């Protein structure tokens, strides 16, 4: 054992923690932040967490409270749209679909009708469901369509007309509404149509996001809408989107047929033809969302209901929780030992993810084996408590950009909907459908465009996720509903951020059910990430104690710091109602009543 490892072992043994309780709260507890605020959770004491000195999210950050219902999303207007529908008597599904369409108007960065998503549902009567409205590869797609004549990976899976899969958002939201909603499509789309037709005031978050994307967006026709006169719409300016309003109105009137076999789809196909894309009318007509059996697992008496393939999120999180359960109770939040265990369990779950997970309609996925406790025990038994293992190396990946968006909704009856939707990168492929008024996704990059080479998230994936016509590209989206040991909805959660979705959602859940944090603290707590390749732990900078970083390095981990990890929106049951927290690292609103 080297000197560095000896030092690490000592620090771990001493319980050195990067998340010490506030100096105002007294000495560090062994396993949980100090009890400094009143209990807020139903039948379950919860405590304020306090984190490493200098941590940028203040202790006073609070959750929104709703005695009856709650919506949390990345857009104020979209959350308000959900609230409007709830107040009008709609249930959580009605509100979720209203939020989804409103995000397409007010959060064009990731909200969409040109992309896809996943929804996990738990109704108050105990029914659970999951709908997969992921995009699919067009019928003319081929395995090597993104590789040039010299065998080199091009950027065509990221920018431009070839980057898009066939969108699923409109069909998926409609199918979910038909099965679990109580209102018509026209009713739940009314707020979104109003926002597109009458406009809304641009806020500083949208201004900053547009400004950062100007070069990409102005290669295509969306430039005129968002950069009139060549500059991003400034804060306070009104963004009116008449083409999008028309598309939404047509969908509200005629249903998904307006998109898949009507005028909105015609605009999409015309755009593809103008720019060398391959999505055809036949592709649109063939699109169907799929109801899937949710991945249901347990962690220390809690039940996790989450998303199966074509997302990797549910299986990868379940594998991680199953491995961690063998070490429970877990070490203190922020200790080197805890962060090491997270890294080692994520490493193993991501190795399986990258090699074995894909669209299960095309590739046999050993789902039952991967989520079994027996398999988790065998993986966990290979983990040393003091020494990092190594992932066999391919190529170093690139850092992940922010993208995607998640929203969580609960209603007064106890119905819960967790939805994550995306056009992949921010503003998708940057291609703007003229006449339709929306951005197209660049989801083709979520395939292993060249198996063995990293995608835009640095994920190195195998043959199982290679491009095939009609196939869904593997996702990391992880909409999840957690039930408490009594079987009541405790937490509705999900995230944006590529592979960091999986690790961030896991950590928020652990913060709530293992470290007993309030939701506000579970959300503001500093996050780590490990995705097997690149073989490194990413830590949010300043969030963790430098001694803890030294200890991790002593164990043999490569540790790098990063500004922010993932973008989560969550709702949690508390005594007398719900807490909602929008991502402290991003924009948005949690609102209830």
- Residue 510 to residues 62, 324, 500, Cα–Cα distance (Å): 19, 10, 15
Nearer to ligand GLY, 168 or 255 (CB): 168
* Dihedral class, residue 262 (left if φ above 0, else alpha if ψ from -120 to 50, else beta): beta
Cβ-contact 380, 345 below 8 angstroms? yes
Nearer to ligand GLY, 47 or 447 (CB): 447
Instruction: Please identify which of the residues 106, 225, 320, 404 carries the catalytic annotation.
Output: 404
- Residue 125 to residues 386, 416, 428, 488, 490, Cα–Cα distance (Å): 46, 11, 37, 11, 15
CB of 495 to ligand GLY, least distance (A): 10
CB of 499 to ligand GLY, least distance (A): 7
- Residue 438 to residues 182, 189, 205, 358, Cα–Cα distance (Å): 28, 16, 19, 28
- Cis ω for the linkage preceding 39 (within 30 of 0): no
- Strands (E) in 189-260, as ranges, are 200-201, 238-239
**Binding of ligand GLY by 565 (CB under 6 A):** no
**Binding of ligand GLY by 422 (CB under 6 A):** yes
Angle between helical axes of 242-254 and 92-106 (0-180°, round to 10): 150
Binding residues for ligand GLY restricted to 371-410, rule: CB under 6 A: 404
- Residue 384 to residues 245, 337, 548, 567, Cα–Cα distance (Å): 57, 10, 17, 31
Size of the site for ligand GLY (CB under 6 A): 9
CB of 91 to ligand GLY, least distance (A): 27
**Binding of ligand GLY by 477 (CB under 6 A):** yes
Stretch near ligand GLY under the rule CB under 6 A, chosen from 154-162, 180-188, 472-480, 506-514 = 472-480
Q: How many Å apart are CA 45 and CA 32, to the nearest integer? A: 12
Cβ-contact 530, 350 below 8 angstroms? yes
Q: How many Å apart are CA 291 and CA 271, to the nearest integer? A: 30
HSE, side-chain direction, 13 A CA sphere, residue 257? 3
H/E element, 274: helix 263-275
Is position 404 annotated as part of the catalytic site?
Answer: yes
By Cβ distance, which residue is nearest to ligand GLY?
475
Angle between helical axes of 3-13 and 546-554 (0-180°, round to 10): 130
Q: Please identify which residue in 303, 465, 475, 480 interacts with ligand GLY, judged by CB under 6 A.
A: 475
Binding residues for ligand GLY restricted to 482-501, rule: CB under 6 A: 498
**Binding of ligand GLY by 135 (CB under 6 A):** no
Using CB under 6 A as the criterion, what x/- string covers residues 337-376 for binding ligand GLY? Answer: ----------------------------------------
Nearer to ligand GLY, 91 or 157 (CB): 157
Stretch near ligand GLY under the rule CB under 6 A, chosen from 70-78, 94-102, 464-472, 474-482 = 474-482
CB of 443 to ligand GLY, least distance (A): 6
**Binding of ligand GLY by 446 (CB under 6 A):** yes
Nearer to ligand GLY, 73 or 311 (CB): 311
Report the interface residues with ligand GLY, using CB under 6 A: 404, 422, 424, 443, 446, 475-477, 498
Residues tagged active-site: 404
């Amino acid at each position: 054992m080297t000197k560095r490892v000896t030092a690490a072992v000592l620090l771990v043994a001493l319980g050195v923690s990067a998340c010490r309780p506030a100096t105002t709260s007294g000495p560090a507890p062994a396993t949980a932040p100090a009890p400094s605020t009143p209990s807020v959770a139903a039948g379950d004491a919860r405590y304020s967490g306090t984190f490493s000195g200098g941590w940028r999210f203040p202790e006073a950050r609070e959750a929104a409270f709703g005695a009856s219902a709650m919506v949390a999303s990345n857009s104020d207007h979209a959350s308000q749209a959900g609230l409007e529908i709830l107040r009008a008597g709609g249930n959580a599904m009605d509100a979720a679909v209203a939020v989804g369409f409103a995000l397409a108007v007010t959060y064009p960065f990731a909200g969409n009708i040109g992309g896809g998503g996943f929804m996990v549902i738990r109704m108050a009567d105990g029914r659970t469901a999951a709908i997969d409205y992921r995009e699919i590869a067009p019928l003319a797609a081929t395995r090597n369509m993104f590789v040039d004549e010299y065998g080199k990976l091009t950027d065509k899976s990221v920018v431009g007309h070839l980057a898009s899969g066939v969108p699923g958002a409109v069909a998926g939201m409609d199918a979910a509404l038909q099965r679990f909603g109580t209102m018509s499509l026209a009713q739940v789309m009314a707020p979104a149509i109003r926002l597109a037709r009458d406009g809304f005031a641009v806020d500083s978050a949208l201004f900053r996001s547009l400004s950062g994307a100007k070069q990409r967006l102005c290669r295509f026709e969306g430039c005129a809408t968002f950069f009139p006169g060549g500059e991003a719409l400034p804060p306070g300016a009104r963004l009116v989107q008449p083409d999008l309003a028309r598309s939404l109105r047509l969908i509200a009137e005629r249903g998904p047929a307006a998109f898949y076999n009507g005028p909105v789809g015609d605009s999409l196909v015309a755009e593809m033809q103008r720019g060398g894309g391959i999505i055809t009318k036949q592709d649109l007509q063939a699109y169907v969302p799929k109801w899937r059996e949710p991945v249901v697992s347990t962690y220390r008496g809690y039940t996790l209901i989450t998303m199966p393939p074509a997302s990797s999120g549910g299986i990868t999180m379940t594998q991680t929780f199953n491995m961690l359960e063998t070490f429970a109770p877990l070490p203190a939040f922020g200790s080197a030992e805890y962060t090491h265990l997270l890294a080692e369990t994520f490493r193993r779950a991501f190795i399986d993810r990258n090699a074995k997970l894909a669209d299960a309609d095309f590739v046999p996925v050993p789902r039952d084996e991967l989520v079994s406790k027996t398999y988790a025990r065998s993986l966990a038994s290979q983990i040393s408590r003091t020494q990092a293992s190594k992932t066999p190396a391919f190529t170093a990946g690139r850092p992940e950009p922010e993208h995607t968006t998640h929203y969580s909704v609960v209603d007064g009856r106890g119905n819960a909907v967790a939805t994550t939707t995306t056009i992949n990168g921010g503003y998708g492929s940057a291609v703007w459908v003229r006449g339709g008024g929306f951005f197209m996704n660049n989801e083709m990059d979520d395939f292993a465009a060249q198996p063995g080479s990293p995608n835009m998230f640095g994920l190195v994936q195998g043959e199982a996720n290679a491009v095939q016509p009609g196939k869904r590209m593997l996702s990391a989206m992880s909409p999840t509903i957690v039930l408490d040991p009594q079987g009541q909805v405790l937490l509705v959660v999900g995230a944006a951020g590529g592979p960091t979705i999986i690790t961030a959602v896991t950590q928020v859940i652990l913060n709530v059910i293992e470290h007993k944090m309030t939701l506000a603290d579970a959300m503001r707590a500093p996050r780590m990430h490990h995705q097997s390749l690149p073989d490194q732990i990413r830590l949010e900078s300043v969030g963790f104690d430098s001694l803890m970083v030294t200890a991790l390095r002593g164990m043999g981990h490569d540790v790098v710091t990063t500004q922010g990890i993932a973008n989560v929106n969550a709702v949690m049951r508390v005594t007398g109602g719900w807490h909602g927290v929008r991502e402290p690292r991003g924009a948005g609103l949690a609102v209830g009543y």
